[in-house]
Amino acid sequence: MPKNKSIKKVLVIGSGPIVIGQAAEFDYAGVQACLALKEEGIEVVLVNSNPATIMTDTDVADKVYIEPLTIEFLERVIRLEKPDSLLPTLGGQTGLNLALELDSAGILAENNVNLIGVNVDSINKAEDRELFKNLMNELELPIPASTIANTAAEAHAFASEIGFPVIIRPAFTLGGSGGGIANNIEELEKIVTHGLDLSPVTQVLIEQSIKGYKEIEYEVICDNKGQAIVVCNMENIDPVGVHTGDSIVVAPSQTLTDREYHRLRTVSLDIIKALGIAGGCNVQLAQDPNSSQFYIIEVNPRVSRSSALASKATGYPIAKISTLIAIGYNLDEIKNPITKDSSAAVEPALDYVALKFARLPFDKLKTNDNRLSTQMQATGEILAIDTNLEAAFLKAIRSLEVKNKYFAHPKFDKMSIHELSSLVTRATDEQIFQMFAMLRQGFDPLKLAKLTEINKFFVFIYKHIIDIENNLIANKFDIEVLKHAKKYGFADEDIARFWETTEAKVREFRQTSGLKPVYKMIDTCAAEFASSTSYFYSAYASQNESNPESDKQKIVVLGSGPIRIGQGIEFDYATVHCIKEVQANGYEAVVINNNPETVSTDFALADKLYIAPMVKEDVLDIIEHEKPVGVIVQFGGQTAINLCQDLTDCGIKILGTQNADIDRVEDREEFEAGLRKIEVLQPQGKIVNSLEEATLAAQSLEYPVLVRPSFVLGGEAMKIISGEASLVDYFENLDKRYFDKPILVDKYVNGMELEVDAVCDGSTVFIPGLIEHIESSGVHSGDSMAVYPPQRVTAEQAAEVVEITEKIAKEFKVLGLMNIQFIIDNGKVFVIEVNPRASRTVPFLVKTTKHNIVKLATNVILGKKLIDLGIDTKLAPNQKLISVKAPVFSFNKIHMIDNLLGPEMKSTGEVMGTDISFEKALYKAFLASNTVISHKGGVLLTASDTKKASIVPIAKLFSKLGFELYATKSTASYLREHGLKPTVVARISDDSEYTIKDLFAEGKLNYVLNVISNDSRVLADEVTIRNIAISQNIPCFSSIDTVSALLKVLVSQGSMINAI
């Protein structure tokens, strides 16, 4: 059957904001889908609430709506646009759920919209536990035994029947939060009680545990005729029990025999055929390492995170092929876009290994529990490719952008085997370092495999790395030993450490010995067919396949590595636009990046793509191979900026702002001096090295002060300190590693925060618009709500901001993009930070102001002047529509994390709401960020002493709108003194019959306000309250300004009534 002729206009739903478990992979999938549809002459309508995506660019879809992803808004889009079809399988779980809701609400039928790529029946069969169970029984496929329990006793009975351990998953909590694995009755009691608390229907699912099995995934694709293939299979190195999103994963599987591989393959194909899915699908299975027993874990009837990984690992574009299938094509009618010659029905064959490491957020989201479990916690991931696993592992750790770039960890390497043995049994983000520490001390790999339940095959790989390490230590500057080490992935930097020399010396020795990597092609077919894809990885082997010859000049664009809190999808957005513009200027764009989830690593985008660690050696090797005219670093976030120094030192030409100038911005003293010179205000600050110095500094600056370690990102370990006691506290609790570098103490300036992104061409600047924060300074810019155009900034202030921006651009010789953060306090404009690069706010500005500043900046970097690009103003006039950006958090995914907002960034993504008035835009932003807006109900108020006064006006307004006020004892009496009548409610820890917990259980709360100063001691009680609120999706605020904004929305919607 050729293309289905009745499909003319398709609605595609995006996945919304980036949250843990749903990240950039859906932008990658969505973009592929939209482009494939357009290529077929189909009109595409796209809805997504996330502005920081390529899919929401107007050249990707014909009509783009950045609106909240709710059925109300989708229905509006459907009525307006009248699409004939809806493609729901590319927007993650969000897109799929919305499609189901639209269907069951009858909206699709009413508007004659067909679901394509999947039908409701198959989604239900895959997603509904009961139906799935039935289907598996029908197919005679094994799944773990399970039951639903409403009480601890029921859970207990089931557990004693099937035996421990068991898995507990609370029903209907967001993202399955509150689940876990219980090994005994005590743990069961604890998890079940907590789970029942969190579950709005007081229900948990208890399941037989198959922890310790091999976890295997198959990415399958099926067409309209039921013809199905496996694109890729993957083995999780962490066994079942650790979410696949957090596991180290290798493609293809390493420890399955052919018989096992094909048994699971057949099962996966049988399932997709039985489900009747036309498109991509992910099947997770568990294989007993000691018998032929296997289980089906789950099926995701849609394109998933794993399919993005599988696409990048194999070169097979799953989302694109799925889309073609959805519009009626079958596998035998589609050519493999990589080889252009073989059929899309060929299952890819790999001749390398592809390794995924998860990027976990524990460096930013402080929790005392970094265990990996059945709930995904990673924010991003990296891909490392080589022809042996050792090299893939070593590339992976270099790519991950964590403290250690090698499998050595000062803390664990100092510990005894005894200490390590007890730690290593728990799967954490640190486990692999513990394993290496033990092997380094001679611990038996077989015993280690037993302790960790990690297959000994992989432990032997680690052991081999240690062997090579020892060999290097014993044989300094031995070329044969070096050759061997390079083949297995050791970096010059690591070798330099073992040889007690410098990286430069090792590099020189290596290069004079003629030892350099070659680049191998990823072609989906293991060289069986000739292919000309420009998708490469490095290997120390004999034949190079990446021909550096070209008729065009080349420019290397550095990507931004794994997504983590503070450096998200926004940088991929900027990178992609830079690549396109470099190409539009007649250059060949060469991209280096390692994030498999992104659009920038789509091998169809750049002229050449290298998957490589973003560190000096790997990047430099590629640059030396390609010989570009220059390298663009300013769109790849801090990752790329950090490479600037090294590249400059090696004589590589940086295009855009030069390293010396970047340095002057990032070096605090030079920066201060620069600002002083151009007479720009900055909050006063001091650099200190001890508590004593800090105390003196704070006294002279006057409290409150802002304290933070130097050389950190995303406001790491940053706190607002209001008095000496807190300062002592801060120093006592600060992680020791921060004391290597000075500590910064700044005057805390309380005011309105503004942000500017500007393009500078060396003589003029262009600012597309100012962004005003809704929360006052003190909430990290990434976590605050913000509005464009500004609502409170006067014309004089705006002019001053423009003037300062110009001055800074000139003083620091900025060429390209720059981001400046300002605080306006009492009419005075302070600069708090300058980032000489693209920033988080760039996509928001591009979408709201319609000025593509990445495009402009790229042209400027390539030598054009703003005036020649049609820019003749410094500050673009404001748009009529008002847009509000709201942060989105993933607190429900991390065990007992404290969600208080402060100067340390915690959000994972953002949404945008646009409308004709500020209130309406705010409303959409709240909705889009999944804030449940209630016009009646109960509000729980708690405030620390210094903040009590600030909540009074808010409490009054809530009361005036008819809300029931609840407050803890001291807050309540304070409110009473101010004429309010809150109901006093006992704290959870109080010995009382009725506490806050009961309020939650009875569903009496619609909003929770927990306003405490940034440096007050965290009370366990408050953390629990916030956690319950989050798990039940009850809006929970810690900033007065956010609540005020919410109240604005309520009032604007007519919530307030007045008697005459």
Partner 1 sequence: MKKVKLVLENGMSFTADNFGYEVSRTEISEIIFTTSMSGYQEVITDPSYYKQMVVMTYPIVGNYGLNATDFESSKPYLSALIVNEYTEMYSHADANQSLADYLKEHKVPGLCGLDTRELTNVIRNSGCLRAIIVPIDTEVSSLEADLKAWTYTNHVADVSTKVSYVCPGPNYRVALIDCGCKKHIIQKLSKYGCEIIVMPYNSTSEQILKLDADGVMFSNGPGDPKDVPETIKLFKDLHGKLPIFGICLGHQIFALSMGANTSKMKFGHHSSNHPVKDLDLDTILTTTQNHGYAVDKIDLEAHNLRLTHVSLNDDSVEGIESLDKMSYTVQFHPEGNQGPSHDQLFEKFINRMKEEKNA
* Element (DSSP H or E) covering residue 786: strand 786-788
Stretch of 785-793, 828-836, 929-937, 1023-1031 contacting Mg ion, by CB under 5 A: 828-836
Using CB under 6 A as the binding rule, whether residue 431 contacts ligand ADP is answered as no
Least distance from partner 1 to the Cβ atom of residue 211, Å: 17
> Position 558: which residue type?
L
Stretch of 116-124, 527-535, 807-815, 964-972 contacting partner 1, by CB under 8 A: 527-535
Least distance from ligand ADP to the Cβ atom of residue 748, Å: 4
Using CB under 8 A as the binding rule, whether residue 528 contacts partner 1 is answered as yes
Nearer to Mg ion, 638 or 995 (CB): 638
| Whole-angstrom distance, CA of residue 89 vs CA of residue 282 | 12
Nearest CA to 971 out of 899, 1041, 1025 is that of: 1025
Using CB under 5 A as the binding rule, whether residue 306 contacts Mg ion is answered as no
Strand partners, 721: 705
Stretch of 360-368, 746-754, 806-814, 831-839 contacting Mg ion, by CB under 5 A: 831-839
Using CB under 8 A as the binding rule, whether residue 258 contacts partner 1 is answered as yes
Site for partner 1 in 426-455 (CB under 8 A): 455
Using CB under 8 A as the binding rule, whether residue 541 contacts partner 1 is answered as yes
Taking CB under 6 A as the criterion, the residue among 88, 91, 241, 317 binding ligand ADP is 241
Least distance from ligand ADP to the Cβ atom of residue 846, Å: 20
Using CB under 6 A as the binding rule, whether residue 297 contacts ligand ADP is answered as yes
Q: Longest C-alpha distance within the chain, in Å? A: 93
Taking CB under 5 A as the criterion, the residue among 722, 781, 848, 968 binding Mg ion is 781
Least distance from partner 1 to the Cβ atom of residue 225, Å: 6
> What x-and-dash track marks residues 732-761 binding ligand ADP by CB under 6 A?
--------------xxxx---x--------
- Please, are residues 344 and 323 in contact by the beta-carbon 8 Å criterion? no
The values of phi and psi at residue 67, to 5°, are -135, 160
Nearest CA to 27 out of 42, 46, 9 is that of: 46
Nearer to partner 1, 547 or 989 (CB): 547
CB atoms within 10 A of CB 975: 23
- Please, are residues 430 and 397 in contact by the beta-carbon 8 Å criterion? no
Using CB under 6 A as the binding rule, whether residue 307 contacts ligand ADP is answered as no
| Whole-angstrom distance, CA of residue 547 vs CA of residue 558 | 20
Using CB under 6 A as the binding rule, whether residue 233 contacts ligand ADP is answered as no
Q: Which residues are CB-neighbours of 454 under 8 A, at least 6 positions away?
A: 237, 238, 239, 435, 448
Using CB under 8 A as the binding rule, whether residue 320 contacts partner 1 is answered as no
* Element (DSSP H or E) covering residue 584: helix 570-584
The values of phi and psi at residue 442, to 5°, are 90, 15
> What x-and-dash track marks residues 459-488 binding ligand ADP by CB under 6 A?
------------------------------
Using CB under 8 A as the binding rule, whether residue 471 contacts partner 1 is answered as no
> What x-and-dash track marks residues 698-727 binding ligand ADP by CB under 6 A?
--------x-------xx------------
Q: Which does 96 bind (CB under 5 to 8 A by kind): ligand ADP, Mg ion, partner 1, none?
A: none
Q: Which does 851 bind (CB under 5 to 8 A by kind): Mg ion, partner 1, ligand ADP, none?
A: none
In the three-class reduction of DSSP (H, G, I as helix; E, B as strand; rest coil), residue 157 is classed as helix
Q: Which two tokens stand for residue 72?
A: 């109300």
Nearer to ligand ADP, 616 or 686 (CB): 686
Nearer to ligand ADP, 398 or 747 (CB): 747
Least distance from partner 1 to the Cβ atom of residue 860, Å: 42
| Whole-angstrom distance, CA of residue 229 vs CA of residue 983 | 62
H-state helical runs in 11-91: 25-39, 71-81
Using CB under 6 A as the binding rule, whether residue 821 contacts ligand ADP is answered as yes
Q: Which does 351 bind (CB under 5 to 8 A by kind): ligand ADP, Mg ion, partner 1, none?
A: partner 1
Using CB under 8 A as the binding rule, whether residue 28 contacts partner 1 is answered as no
Using CB under 8 A as the binding rule, whether residue 529 contacts partner 1 is answered as yes
- Give me the helix-helix angle, 92-104 and 71-81, nearest 10°: 70
Q: What HEC string does 901-968 produce? A: CCCCCCCCEEEEEEECCHHHHHHHHHHHCCCCCCCCCEEEEEECHHHHHHHHHHHHHHHHCCCEEEEC
* Tokens 């409701």 sit on residue: 120
| Whole-angstrom distance, CA of residue 862 vs CA of residue 581 | 10
Site for partner 1 in 261-280 (CB under 8 A): 261-262, 265-266
Q: Which two tokens stand for residue 808?
A: 């800074």
Q: Which does 258 bind (CB under 5 to 8 A by kind): ligand ADP, partner 1, Mg ion, none?
A: partner 1
Least distance from partner 1 to the Cβ atom of residue 260, Å: 8
Using CB under 8 A as the binding rule, whether residue 970 contacts partner 1 is answered as no
> What x-and-dash track marks residues 889-928 binding ligand ADP by CB under 6 A?
--------------x-------------------------
Least distance from ligand ADP to the Cβ atom of residue 34, Å: 26
Least distance from ligand ADP to the Cβ atom of residue 907, Å: 12
Stretch of 251-259, 466-474, 618-626, 775-783 contacting Mg ion, by CB under 5 A: 775-783
Q: Which does 227 bind (CB under 5 to 8 A by kind): ligand ADP, partner 1, Mg ion, none?
A: partner 1
| Whole-angstrom distance, CA of residue 264 vs CA of residue 277 | 18
176 to each of 70, 202, 722, how far by Cα in Å? 21, 13, 38
Least distance from ligand ADP to the Cβ atom of residue 77, Å: 28
Nearest CA to 177 out of 1032, 1035, 1020 is that of: 1032
Q: Tell me the number of residues near ligand ADP by CB under 6 A.
A: 37
What is the arrangement of strands in the sheet containing 938-943, beginning at the earlier edge strand? 983-984, 964-967, 938-943, 1007-1011, 1036-1037
Using CB under 6 A as the binding rule, whether residue 209 contacts ligand ADP is answered as yes
Stretch of 123-131, 654-662, 766-774, 830-838 contacting Mg ion, by CB under 5 A: 830-838
Question: DSSP string of 122-134?
Answer: HHHHHHSHHHHHH
- Please, are residues 360 and 317 in contact by the beta-carbon 8 Å criterion? no
Q: Which residues are CB-neighbours of 978 under 8 A, at least 6 positions away?
A: 952, 955, 956
Least distance from ligand ADP to the Cβ atom of residue 823, Å: 6
Q: Which does 727 bind (CB under 5 to 8 A by kind): partner 1, Mg ion, ligand ADP, none?
A: none
Using CB under 6 A as the binding rule, whether residue 242 contacts ligand ADP is answered as yes
Q: Which residues are CB-neighbours of 575 under 8 A, at least 6 positions away?
A: 557, 558, 559, 560, 591, 593, 600, 635, 636
Q: Which does 670 bind (CB under 5 to 8 A by kind): ligand ADP, partner 1, Mg ion, none?
A: none
Using CB under 8 A as the binding rule, whether residue 337 contacts partner 1 is answered as no
Per-residue burial over 821-841, b if 16 or more Cβ lie within 10 Å, else e, is: bbbbbeeebbbbebbbbbbbb
Nearest CA to 943 out of 1043, 1048, 1047 is that of: 1043
| Whole-angstrom distance, CA of residue 439 vs CA of residue 490 | 17
- Please, are residues 165 and 175 in contact by the beta-carbon 8 Å criterion? no
Using CB under 8 A as the binding rule, whether residue 289 contacts partner 1 is answered as yes
Residues found near partner 1 in the complex (CB under 8 A)? 225-227, 229-230, 252-259, 261-262, 265-266, 289-291, 331-332, 342-343, 345-353, 387-389, 455-457, 460, 463, 520, 525-530, 541-543, 545
Residues found near ligand ADP in the complex (CB under 6 A)? 144, 167, 207-211, 215, 240-244, 284, 297-298, 374, 376, 683, 706, 714-715, 746-749, 753, 777-781, 821, 823, 832-833, 903
